[in-house]
Amino acid sequence: MSIKLGVPSKGRLMEKTFEWFAQHGITLSRTGSEREYAGAVTGIEGIDLVLLSAGEIPRELAAGRIHLGVTGTDLVREKLVQWEQKVEEVRTLGFGYADLIVAVPQAWVDVDTLDDLDAAAAAFRAEHGFRLRIATKYHRLTRDYLRFGGVADYQLVDSQGATEGTVKNLTAEAIADITSSGETLRANHLKILSEAPVLRSQATLFRSRAAARDAETQRIMSALYDALGLDVRNRVAEA
């Protein structure tokens, strides 16, 4: 019996995750080409490495097909309804920082807060006859945030590509998207509302609540937690 550890299959998240585990004496490696999603774990026995896209990892955790997974907080909370019942945060990893924010055109000089956005949305509908469009890939989180902030007269439109370009391309009037530096937003003449972000995200190690657990998997999990310096009670700790 082994436990399955899901890790992002490419890019900086994969590299930083590999580095983080290596700092704790556990080597993660890709065993095939970049087109093959096979990996290996050395430094501890009983763990199988599964390379997945960061967006797939929440689903695989919720289904119990992997026991542990590294992905962004934003993806877990967006993709999983009542996420706390399906996964448990084990540890934040100290990289992959990004904020989910709402941004509007820089030309909207009178729109800086959610109250301002609500007023602008009402005025927009009165003038144009349809609701102000906010482009995003994060429908659940954005909808909850805007409802809590009292913004009513808007519609969310799905963004499958570069969300920052939707305003320039006239397919949306505002956006809700992940940003780390804000440079792309500024390049597209957008500004972030002067409110707390929708969510502050970072790479996090999650444990599935649905994955099969027996004495052997518990033993392996305890050995892994010991190697990583984690409390076996699964409390979140800062990296």
Q: Are residues 54 and 127 in the same domain?
A: no
What is residue 85's DSSP assignment? G
- Other Cβ atoms closer than 10 A to 47: 21
- What is the average per-residue pLDDT within 156-181? 92
Q: Are residues 57 and 130 in the same domain?
A: no
Instruction: Report the CATH number at residue 61.
Output: 3.40.190.10
Please report the pLDDT score of residue 35 as a whole number: 55
Cα(46)–Cα(133) distance, integer angstroms: 49
Q: Are residues 83 and 104 in the same domain?
A: no
- What is the average per-residue pLDDT within 211-222? 91
Q: Are residues 71 and 107 in the same domain?
A: no
Q: Are residues 38 and 156 in the same domain?
A: no
Residue 26: domain span: 3-97+202-228
Q: What is the pLDDT of residues 78-106, one digit of tens each?
A: 999 999 999 999 999 999 999 999 999 99
Q: How many CA atoms lie within 13 A of 100 on its CB side?
A: 24
Q: Are residues 114 and 170 in the same domain?
A: yes
Cα(193)–Cα(128) distance, integer angstroms: 23
* Rg of the chain over all Cα atoms, to the nearest angstrom: 20
Q: What is the pLDDT of residues 20-36, one digit of tens each?
A: 999 999 999 987 655 55
User: pTM of the prediction?
Assistant: 0.88
Split into its structural domains, the chain has a count of 2
Cα(125)–Cα(143) distance, integer angstroms: 18
Q: Are residues 143 and 123 in the same domain?
A: yes
Residue 159 lies inside a defined structural domain of this protein: yes
pLDDT at 231 > cutoff 80: no
Beta carbons of 231 and 89 less than 8 angstroms apart = no
pLDDT at 238 > cutoff 80: no
Q: Are residues 29 and 44 in the same domain?
A: yes
Q: Are residues 180 and 117 in the same domain?
A: yes
